[in-house]
Amino acid sequence: MNPTDSIHRKILSYFNGQLTDEEEAELLEWIKQSEKNKQYFFKVKEELDPDKMSNEFVKSSYAELKSRLVINNEFKRSVSSGFRHLRISLPRVAAMLVLAIALGFSLAYLLTNTQFQKEEIVWFESQTPRGEKSRVLLPDGSLVWLNSESSISYPADFMKGNRIIKLTGEAYFDVAKLPSHAPFIVQTPSYAIRVLGTQFNVMAYADFDRTETTLIEGKIEIQYANQVIDVAPGESFVYKNNKYQLKKTNAAQSAMWKDDVFDFDQITFEELVRRLERWYDVDIEIKSEQLKSTTYSGAFKNEETLEEVLTTFELSMPVRFEREDFRKFSIDLKK
């Protein structure tokens, strides 16, 4: 059997929702092996699009629904012996793609047959719930890692000059270099980021006291209040209390969460606890107001259980923790 024929059939099976979790993982690894493989994947995807459709809105919606390649590497918690270890599993995404395409046709029909006869832009969204992480391959070949309780959305005309991503939560971007295409823009609630093909991390959780963008390599521009601020590799743009600052930082440290290593330098204990809640899908009450503002530096791996992490806190700080319920804990200063 010709290897090309085999991979071609696998790509077709993916878009028909016929691949197993293991086969999806194998396809993702094959795509990552080379730029040639990635281009072949999108070539097959383009061949699937209908050549003759009277309504351009329907046509673009159909194409982008199929190109919404969401290959998750989500981390789902398995509970055994009372709150034990993490296990990795790939969700069944491809099987739902066929339904998404059908819904796309229905949505397109409804939108284009209203009394206003007005075209609407469809936005696609990828969400990662608490306690999980995911990886998304965008239609232009860019990769996005989504941290727990985060989401991105992008328009149906993404590949037609509207390369805009809306982010809530935290994400690491590895943006494809496409000089002939429109600039890649990431919109946060506080400011926009103009990207020219690069790697960077954005933290924009609504319940944190700041929005922070850290550049690992390449070039980005922050667009804020009619200003354009250049960010260099190894710098962080920090927006807080309607003010911003550029600061030198350990850029790689900001994105270590995607590799299951959580490394922090001088963050408040309250922020640390909020992150633990997201990573472990639990609720943690801080009973001391003084403890909330205490700064913390340290590192640990996601393979450690929450109880192991909290025990480390007890050994290094004057605190104690209690387990109130199955997924509820409390932390207080030692009396």
Confidence (pTM): 0.65
φ, ψ for residue 52, nearest 5 deg: -125, 105
CA 226 to each of CA 184, 191, 242: distance values in angstroms, whole numbers, following the listed order: 18, 10, 14
Q: Predicted confidence band at 48 (pLDDT cuts at 50, 70, 90)?
A: low
Of 210, 206, 167, 205, the C-alpha closest to 185 is 167
Res 178 pLDDT > 90: no
Radius of gyration of the chain (CA): 22
Separation between Cα atoms, residue 330 and residue 156, nearest integer Å: 44
184-187/123-128 β-pairing: unpaired
Q: Exposed/middle/buried for 300, CB within 10 Å: 0-12, 13-18, 19+?
A: middle
Task: Give mean pLDDT, residues 21-50.
Answer: 75
95 vs 185: which has the higher pLDDT = 185
Output the pLDDT for position 16: 64
Class of domain 260-333: alpha beta
- pLDDT bucket at 114, cuts 50 / 70 / 90: very low
Domain boundaries, the chain: 1-120, 260-333
- pLDDT score at 3: 66
List phi, psi (to 5°) of 189.
-60, -20
Long-range contacts at 143-150 (CB < 8 A, ≥ 24 apart):
143/173, 143/174, 144/171, 144/172, 144/173, 144/174, 145/171, 145/172, 145/255, 145/258, 146/170, 146/171, 147/171, 147/172, 147/257, 147/258, 147/278, 148/278, 148/279, 148/281, 149/205, 149/278, 150/205
pLDDT above 70 as % of the chain: 76
CA angle, residues 162, 163, 166, in degrees to nearest 5: 105
Residue 65 has pLDDT above 80, yes or no: no
Task: Identify any residues that bridge with 154 across adjacent strands, giving them in sequence order.
Answer: 124
Do residues 248 and 235 lie in contact, with contact meaning Cβ atoms separated by under 8 Å? Answer: yes
Residue 228 in this model has a pLDDT that exceeds 50: yes
In this prediction, residues 50-63 reach a mean pLDDT of 39
Decide: helix, strand or coil at residue 213: strand
SS3 61: helix
**Cα–Cα nearest to 271, from 203, 209, 199, 204:** 209
| Beta strands, E only, the chain | 75-77, 86-88, 123-128, 134-137, 143-146, 150-155, 164-174, 184-187, 192-195, 199-204, 211-217, 220-224, 227-231, 235-240, 243-248, 261-268, 283-286, 295-301, 319-325, 328-333
Closest CA relative to residue 193, chosen from 162, 161, 166: 166
The two tokens of residue 122 are 């469809």
DSSP string, 109-166: HHHHTSTT------EEEEEE-TT--EEEE-TTS-EEEE-TTEEEEEETTGGGT--EEE
